[in-house]
Amino acid sequence: MPETPLWASHTSRLRQRDICRPSQQRTSEMAAAAAGETWCRETVPRVMELVSPRLPQRDACALLSLSPWCHRALTANPKLWEVLDLHETKKAGEQLISALSLARYRHLKVVNLEFAQDIDDWHFLHLKEMGTIFLEELEFLNLNACQRISDKGIEAVTSLCPNLRALSIYWIVGLTDASIEHIVKNCKKIMDLNLSGCKNISDRGIQLVADNYQELKKLDITRCIKLTDDALQEVLQKCSALESLNLYALSSFTDKAYTKIGYLTSLTFLDLCGAQNLTDDGLTCISRCGSLTYLNLTWCVRITDVGVVAIAEGCRSLELLSLFGILGVTDTCLEALSKSCSKSLTTLDVNGCTGIKRRSSSDLIEMFPFLSCFKVHS
């Protein structure tokens, strides 16, 4: 049999290689596609599971449109959609309605609309009229500074969330006692209520709070300037489980009410900044709140060493104390505080206390070695 020429053998190998190349390329492409499919199906969900809890919700929403796999992985994580954060956003009302129409938000626990723009009563009334939105699991609603909301909006939104535990309506100055009526009627489980800056709420509104929320833990009535001693006394006598009480910038109360703060044996946070009528007698009663860790007495101008010494003896767990601007206190009160609170105090503001001579940072650290902050009021 004649021997095959070398050139013919070489040509045959070239043809065979050219025939095989498309097949090999297709196999390689198929393998790459399969690997990509596996990566998307297995790796992407794992990565999303690890990363999503650490992402701001707006970033998580942006990732939804990245790929079907990202969308599927993110929407499958119910914890990720327990919070709807629309604070400081534009067209927040439209976004709220759109979000609450999606199945993934059916188990919302927190809605934050603080300083949100373009939201008013209509949006809440529309949600109520839709008849399909019921925020049964919602626990915290933040409407801070949503100035276009009135009592009607409060009635509508609270009717949708009967199990609400915390409500913040700071600086919605148009709200009246009617809003409090709607809140206590629709939300029976409130434990944390922020009414700061709601200047039109009167004693009648606070009486409703006292009558309906006797297990209340936190109350902020900063700058609720229509309130009198009578209303505050009702709260202090009926809401004896309070742990946090903010009475910032309320100069009209007197010792008639302040003495009742001593009933609050679980109180840990008390802000009395600007309590111009608080005297040593009132502060001595407050000293019965032995669990206090935060006490702001800034501009409580009638206080002297007598009241602060009583606090030192009764409140031995203080971590923050501000005496800013009080002229009637001297080194005597610091000596009393150093004996009882030297190991707990980390913040002490005695700026403007001209009667205290040892008020430099080095002097204070010598008496309170764990101090790290020397200024509360600014």
Confidence at residue 80, expressed as pLDDT on a 0 to 100 scale: 83
Contact (Cβ atoms closer than 8 angstroms) between residue 183 and residue 157: no
Arithmetic mean of pLDDT, 72-90 = 85
Confidence at residue 338, expressed as pLDDT on a 0 to 100 scale: 97
In SS3 terms, the chain reads as CCCCCHHHHHHHHHHHHHHHHHHHHHHHHHHHHHHHHHHHHHHHHHHHHHHHHHCCHHHHHHHHCCCHHHHHHHHCCHHHHCEEECCCCCCHHHHHHHHHCCHHHCCCCEEECCCCCCCCHHHHHHHHHHCCCCCCCCCEEECCCCCCCCHHHHHHHHHCCCCCCEEECCCCCCCCHHHHHHHHHHCCCCCEEECCCCCCCCHHHHHHHHHHCCCCCEEECCCCCCCCHHHHHHHHHHCCCCCEEECCCCCCCCHHHHHHHHHCCCCCEEECCCCCCCCHHHHHHHCCCCCCCEEECCCCCCCCHHHHHHHHHHCCCCCEEECCCCCCCCHHHHHHHHHHHCCCCCEEECCCCCCCCCCCHHHHHHHCCCCCECCCCC
The alpha carbon torsion through 361, 364, 366, 367 (nearest 10 deg) reads -170
pLDDT at 336 over 70: yes
Confidence at residue 36, expressed as pLDDT on a 0 to 100 scale: 55
> Residue 270 forms beta bridges with which residues?
245, 295
pLDDT at 39 over 80: no
pLDDT at 288 over 60: yes
Arithmetic mean of pLDDT, 180-192 = 98
What's the whole-model pTM score? 0.86
Rounded distance, CA 301 to CA 5, Å?
A: 114
Residue among 78, 84, 95 at smallest CA distance from 56: 84
Confidence at residue 9, expressed as pLDDT on a 0 to 100 scale: 53
pLDDT at 93 over 80: yes
Confidence at residue 72, expressed as pLDDT on a 0 to 100 scale: 73
Work out the pLDDT band at 35, boundaries 50, 70, 90: low
**CA end-to-end distance (rounded Å), the chain:** 107
Arithmetic mean of pLDDT, 308-320 = 98
Backbone angles phi, psi at 324, to 5 degrees: -50, 130
What average pLDDT does the structure give for the chain? 90
Instruction: Render pLDDT for 9-25 as a digit per residue (tens, 0 to 9).
Output: 544 554 555 555 566 66
Work out the pLDDT band at 59, boundaries 50, 70, 90: confident
Instruction: Render pLDDT for 220-266 as a digit per residue (tens, 0 to 9).
Output: 999 999 999 999 999 999 999 999 999 999 999 999 999 999 999 99
* 70-95 exposure pattern, b = at least 16 Cβ within 10 A, e = fewer: beebbbebeebbbebbbeebeebbeb
Confidence at residue 136, expressed as pLDDT on a 0 to 100 scale: 96
pLDDT at 7 over 50: no
Among 9-13, 71-75, 305-309, which stretch is predicted with the lowest mean pLDDT? 9-13
Residue % of the chain over a pLDDT of 70: 83
Instruction: Render pLDDT for 138-172 as a digit per residue (tens, 0 to 9).
Output: 999 999 999 999 999 999 999 999 999 999 999 99
Work out the pLDDT band at 90, boundaries 50, 70, 90: very high
Rounded distance, CA 343 to CA 203, Å?
A: 41
Instruction: Render pLDDT for 104-143 as a digit per residue (tens, 0 to 9).
Output: 999 999 999 999 999 999 999 999 999 999 999 999 999 9
Confidence at residue 78, expressed as pLDDT on a 0 to 100 scale: 80
